[in-house]
Amino acid sequence: MERRWPRSVAGFDGLDAGDGRGGYGCPELAAALPAGEQHLPRLWYPVRATKAVTVAPSASTPAAPVHPLLSADDTMPDDTPPVSLREITRDTLDAILELSVAENQKRYVATNAVSLAQAHFAPEAWFRAIYCGDEPAGFVLLEDHSLDSPPPEKPEIAVWRFMIDERFQRRGVGRAAMLQVIEHVRRKGLFSSLLLSYVPGPDSPEGFYRSLGFRPNGQMSGEEVVMELPLTDAPSP
C-alpha cells in the first residue's frame, strides 16, 4: 500500500533518498506553486532505497515542552467559543487559505494552499476546517485509506496535516479539534490506531501529541518521529 503520510505537522524534508523527484514528486504541481513553497512538506511516497529505522525507547528521555497549540493549563478557557470541524466551501475557501501558524512554526507545516492542492489529487484525503465559534481557526487533513477504491482489507489512517492559526493558539482550540478528529476516526470502526509524525525540534508539537496519548512507535521516517495512538485507549472529546 502506498503511504502519503507522514507529513502532518512535519517540517522541511526536501528530497527523500530513492524518490528522485524532490519537492512533491509531481513536477507539474510543484511548478505551479509559488517559489519557496515547492519544497515544503510533500506527499509521502514509498522510499525504496531506505527502510524505517527502529529506535529503542529511553526511560531517561526528558519531557517535551508544551507546544503553543496546547493551552498552558491543558484546558480550554471558559470564554473560548465551541470548536467544530466543518467542510470547506467556495465561500469559506479564502478565509482558510489566509490562516497561518507563527513564524517560528512555518518550517514544521505546509501552507493550507499546499495542503488543499495535495488533497485534491489524493482520493484518500479527508479534510476539514477547524472553527472556533464562527471564526476559521485551523485546518486538518487525514490520509484515510478506507476511502481508497477498492479499500484495503485492513486500511490505515494517519494525520497528514494539522495546523492552528497563531491567533487561536494557547486557547485549547488545537486540543479540542484533535479530540474531535480522534473521535471521527474511532466512530468509523475500521482502525486500530491513528498514526502521525513530527520533526523533532524546539518548536515541534511532540508535547501536544503526547498529552493526547500518542507515543513513538519505535519507527523513524527520515528525520521524522512516527507516533501512534491506540484507538481503544484514545481520549474522548
Q: What's residue 4's pLDDT?
A: 53
DSSP codes, 27-50 = HHHHHHSPTTSTTSS------TT-
Q: Is 37:110 a contact under the CB 8 Å cutoff?
A: yes
pLDDT digits (tens, 9 = 90+) for 66-89: 444 444 344 566 678 999 999 999
Q: What's residue 203's pLDDT?
A: 76
User: Distance between CA atoms of 114 and 111, rounded to whole angstroms?
Assistant: 5
Q: What's residue 97's pLDDT?
A: 98
Whole-number Cα distances in Å, 87 to 43, 51, 93, 111, 139:
22, 36, 10, 18, 10
User: Distance between CA atoms of 169 and 101, rounded to whole angstroms?
Assistant: 9
In the chain, the domains with their CATH numbers are 27-47+65-230 (3.40.630.30)
Instruction: Give 210's Cβ-side CA count (13 Å radius).
Output: 13
Q: What's residue 233's pLDDT?
A: 61
Nearest to 69 by CA among 156, 128, 157, 8: 8
pLDDT digits (tens, 9 = 90+) for 197-221: 998 888 788 999 999 999 999 988 8
Q: What's residue 75's pLDDT?
A: 57
Q: What's residue 202's pLDDT?
A: 83
Q: Is 9:174 a contact under the CB 8 Å cutoff?
A: no
Q: What's residue 201's pLDDT?
A: 84
